[in-house]
Structure formats: C-alpha cells, structure tokens
Amino acid sequence: MAAAALCWALRAVRQALPSPCPRQVRSYYVDWRMLRDVKRRKLAYEYADERLRINAIRKNSILPKELQEVADKEIAALPRDSCPVRIRNRCVLTSRPRGVKRRWRLSRIVFRHFADHAQMSGVQRAMW
C-alpha cells in the first residue's frame, strides 16, 4: 500500500523536459483528486474499445439472452476506473469540480480573473 502510494507520488511529479527550454514547466498536479481524475482518464482511454464491443453485445435484441448476461458479467469485471462516467471535468488550474466551463476547461473564478486581465483572447465583458 505504501509502495503504491509512493509510486503514485512519483508519477505525480512529471519529469522535466530533457531539452533546456527557458519556459516554465509545471511538474506537479494541483491536488490528488486531479491526479485520480487523470488516472481515470487514462484507463478509460485504454479500455474504451473493449467496453464499446461488450456493450454492443449487451444492448442487443438479436443475440440470445444468455450471451448478454455473460457479457454483463464481463464488463463488470473490468477495472472500475475504466468507465468514462467516472471522469469529472475539473478546472485545469485549480481542480475545482464545479463551475467549470467546458470550452476553456477553467473554473468560473479563474476564467473571470483572466478575462479581466485581458488574457483571454476574444473575451469581452458583456454590455448591451
């Protein structure tokens, strides 16, 4: 358990790029919840095809029901984090789970901060 936690801690620290670029690079995720979300996304990507195929067998009126029940059991046996429903669109900068605009992947507070400082291209205060 401790080893697994350590492993995840190491993975949280992303490696710095080998080439000496003068840009600042983020080496950590904002918090552990964001890290778990990242994990879930990766797994969901890996198992996406399989889930799609098994679901195609399940949601079917042609194949026999026994086959579909077997498929049900199979999909339940897959890792829990592989289902896409568990992914939460968090804010990219603050990891806020609520109030996140999908287009910018930012929470409303961060979005407002950047927009007021004129760092969002094409965003203007509404006035009509």
Partner 1 sequence: KDKSAASKDSTHEGAAKRQEDGAETPKQQLLDIIGTMKVEVSYRKKLQQLKASESKKQAMKQLGGLESEGSVPQGITEDTQRGKPLNPELVKAASAVASSLPRNRKQTESELLAQLRRHEETTDKQKKGGTINICNVISEMTVKRQSPAQRGARISGRISLQLDEDGQRIRPERLSAQSMDSRRSLKVGKRLNIFTKASTEPEHTLNTVSSPTIWDMEFAKEVAAVTAQPPRNGFEEMIQWTKEGILWEFPVDNEVGMEDDAEFHEHIFLEKHLEGFPREGPIRHFMELVICGLSKNPYLSVKQKVEHIEWFQKYFEEKKELLQEI
Q: Which residues bind partner 1 (CB under 8 A)?
A: 19-20, 22, 49-50, 53, 56-57, 60, 62-64, 66-67, 70
Between 20 and 122, CB nearer to partner 1: 20
Give the Cα separation of 103 and 123 in Å (integer).
12
Q: What phi and psi, each to the nearest 5 degrees, are found at residue 107?
A: -75, 165
State the minimum distance, in angstroms, from the CB of residue 54 to partner 1: 9
Between 23 and 125, CB nearer to partner 1: 23
Tokens 């789970």 correspond to 97
Would you put residue 61 in left (φ > 0), alpha (ψ -120 to 50) or beta?
alpha
State the minimum distance, in angstroms, from the CB of residue 6 to partner 1: 31
Q: Which residues does residue 110 pair with via DSSP β-bridges, in sequence order? A: none
Between 4 and 22, CB nearer to partner 1: 22
Which two three-digit tokens encode residue 55? 């679901």
State the minimum distance, in angstroms, from the CB of residue 66 to partner 1: 6
Between 74 and 116, CB nearer to partner 1: 74
State the minimum distance, in angstroms, from the CB of residue 51 to partner 1: 12
- Which of 43, 38, 30 shows the shortest CA–CA distance to 96? 30
